[in-house]
Chains A and B, each alone.
Chain A
Amino acid sequence: MTAATTGRRPAVSLPMWQGGGTRMGFFTDSSICIGCKACEVACKEWNGVPDIDTGFTGNSYDNTSALGANSWRHVAFVERPRPDTGDGVQWLMNSDVCKHCTRAACLDVCPTGAIFRSEFGTVVVQDDICNGCGYCVVACPFGVLERREEPDGRAFKCTLCYDRLEVGDEPACAKACPTQSIQFGPLEELRERAEKRLEEVKREPRFAGARLYGESKDDGVGGFGAFFLLLDEPEVYGLPPKPVYRRTDLALLWGAASVAASVLTLGVMGSLRWRRR
């Protein structure tokens, strides 16, 4: 990852976002999400994402269930008794999306260079390079990536509307959101806005559990490019509580593998007879 090679193929040699241009992202404020799913629909319309055969899940109003190759926005619905009074209904809704991680596992593990970091700091899959190896699918700490079985099993996910960003427009989901629950903009600005919003929300006793999720540069993946304001623990919304991806972990792994490989080599040498010729 030296700077010497960055000029030739930045997508590959500069996989960790290090600046250059303004990093753009989403702030999804779940406290004002009304669960209309306009984001899901707008995303599908703009990006030509195929429909999914959902059926009826019985999980509140959620028949999308999860992010995947054919669901790039997913509105989660949690129905439960009001926490302050214990009766009635509290409805938590949150529009989930690819986090466009600062340290993106999918990008690091992609063996073809199909996944790259755009000039907006977003993480995008190039469908004309992806060969459908499926590694990003198991690498993503959020279960965002998925192989699209029809027609050929390549991986797809949110592009943060790369094509719209390039012409100065905002992503389709943010544009369609009627309550500004989905906000698009320069990440630094969004972070400031989110801090203020969190203070506001927490003033209400029943939202004492509100927190920002993925806004911190110090978290396990170096912060999200698309972060959230949640009203409860992340796992309640189907999000991992402490997602982690670090290259130092990989170094540890290779260290263990090297020791094991040495054991193999020395062991095989010792197994042979070494009789004098």
Chain B
Amino acid sequence: MAAPVTAEPRVGGERQMVPRDKPRSYYGLPIVKRPAWTWEVPWYLFTGGTAGGLAAVAIFARGTGEAKLGRRARRLALAGAVVSPALLISDLGRPERFLNMLRVFRPTSPMSLGSWTLAGFGSALGAAEMADFVGLPNVVVGTLEAAAGILGPILANYTAVLLADTANPIWRGGRTILPFVFTGSSVAAAGASLCVAGPPEESVAARRMVAWGTAVEQASFLLMQRRLGPLAEPYRDGPAGRLAKVHRASSLTGAALISVLGRRSRKVAILGGALTLAGSAALRQCVYRAGFQSAADPRYLVDSQREAAAASGQGKTATG
């Protein structure tokens, strides 16, 4: 027998991938760690994203004469901006050290940029609310809203960058599409919360947002799974798979209700909005849980790295 220590021949693209029934791994133990975060994080993905989408409504509604809608969006966004940091701080091992997040500005860390974005976003929204309350001129309120409105779209999807800039196979593998999944979800949830909070005659824009937000969310989620290939398995199996089903059913039903009957009945709008919100929350939970399932099985990581190396021609050289 000639040197069977290296069972696979080193022939670049033609190498046999790890057979499913006989994984080459160390007792099947995980290679990368599963996420060390707690329950707050997927909820933050939802609250922060929704608030980000709402802030965009707040700045532009002022210009289109939909002042009531704009103010409603701003207040809902503010609520999200209050809840979000609370969730994040609670997740920390040492919550009293949360200010260390603003100790440095770290362009290489999506979490650092996100912390600064969230801090600026919340401050601007809070200040806008105060300025409005004490009756400062519209230009002051508008400027503060604009600041939040610029940070909002970043807040809506930087969390996708945060998840993708890791060693987790399923997050890393879907990296260029995940921002679109989160953006669509944020838009749908922002629109849905406005449908719940306001009368149908003031929620035209909100209904449109639910419709196209859901479309972007569903389409990009499907595209991401297709691109992931075998890596997408967790989106179909186990807890993440179940959450994906809940997400799809809830989001699509909610969007349909709002689009078809939302302008006629407040009650239906509230039901549809609640379903859309639940669907968006389920999507964030699903993506989060999928990271656990993807890290647990070393086959995902080994196969994807072998494939990527073979594709880029590195497979010919010895490992190192």
Contact = CB atoms under 8 A, between A and B. Distances in A.
Interface of A: 9, 12, 15, 57, 59, 62, 65-66, 68, 76, 78, 83-84, 86, 105, 108-114, 129-135, 137-143, 145-147, 152-155, 205-216, 219, 227, 230-245, 247, 249-250, 252-254, 256-257, 259-265, 267-275, 277
B183 A240 contact: no
22 contacts: A65-B29, A78-B26, A109-B166, A111-B115, A112-B101, A113-B104, A130-B94, A133-B92, A134-B35, A137-B33, A213-B319, A213-B320, A215-B320, A236-B26, A240-B167, A241-B305, A253-B110, A253-B160, A256-B180, A264-B56, A273-B205, A275-B64
A242 B5 contact: no
A140 to B, nearest CB: 6
B138 to A, nearest CB: 14
Interface stretch (B79-87, B150-158, B227-235, B240-248): B150-158
B19 interface: no
B179 interface: yes
B314 A153 contact: no
A137 B35 contact: yes
Given A143-B30, A206-B5, A209-B5, A109 B108 contact: yes
Nearest to A152: B93
Given A112-B103, A132-B93, A209 B164 contact: no
Contacts of B65: 273, 275, 277
B263 to A, nearest CB: 13
A219 B97 CA distance: 36
A267 B212 contact: yes
Contacts of A274: 64
Contacts of B168: 138
A268 B165 contact: no
Contacts of B191: 271
Nearest to B32: A143
A214 B305 contact: no
A194 to B, nearest CB: 10
B267 to A, nearest CB: 23
B37 A134 contact: yes
A238 B280 CA distance: 36
Contacts of B206: 271
A208 B5 contact: yes
Contact of B56 (A84, A235, A268): A268
A231 B6 CA distance: 9
Contact of B204 (A114, A211, A265, A273): A273
B186 interface: yes
B93 A154 contact: yes
Nearest to B158: A257
A130 B92 CA distance: 10
Nearest to B178: A256
Nearest to B41: A134
Contacts of A235: 18, 24-26, 31, 298, 302
A263 B180 contact: yes
B137 interface: no
Contacts, number: 296
B92 A132 contact: yes
A272 B18 CA distance: 52
Given A59-B27, A111-B104, A267-B209, 14 more contacts: A105-B166, A105-B167, A111-B109, A132-B93, A138-B35, A138-B291, A145-B33, A147-B93, A152-B94, A153-B93, A233-B8, A240-B31, A263-B183, A268-B57
Interface of B: 1-8, 18, 24-27, 29-33, 35-37, 52-53, 56-57, 60-61, 63-66, 91-95, 97-98, 100-101, 103-104, 106, 108-112, 115, 153-154, 156-158, 160-162, 164-168, 171, 175-180, 182-183, 186-187, 191, 204-206, 208-209, 212-213, 216, 291, 295, 298, 301-302, 305-306, 308-309, 314, 318-320
B33 A146 contact: yes
Contacts of A110: 106, 109
B104 A112 contact: yes
A69 B42 CA distance: 24
A271 B305 contact: no
Contact of A216 (B53, B108, B156, B320): B320
**Nearest 4 CB-CB pairs, A to B?**
A132-B93, A153-B93, A238-B26, A209-B5
B42 to A, nearest CB: 13
A254 B176 CA distance: 9
A261 B154 contact: yes
A260 B109 contact: no
Nearest to A214: B320
A42 B157 CA distance: 45
Contact of B209 (A131, A155, A216, A271): A271
A37 B312 CA distance: 38
A107 to B, nearest CB: 8
A249 B1 CA distance: 42
A59 B106 CA distance: 41
A259 B156 CA distance: 12
B156 A264 contact: yes
Contact of A271 (B104, B182, B208): B208
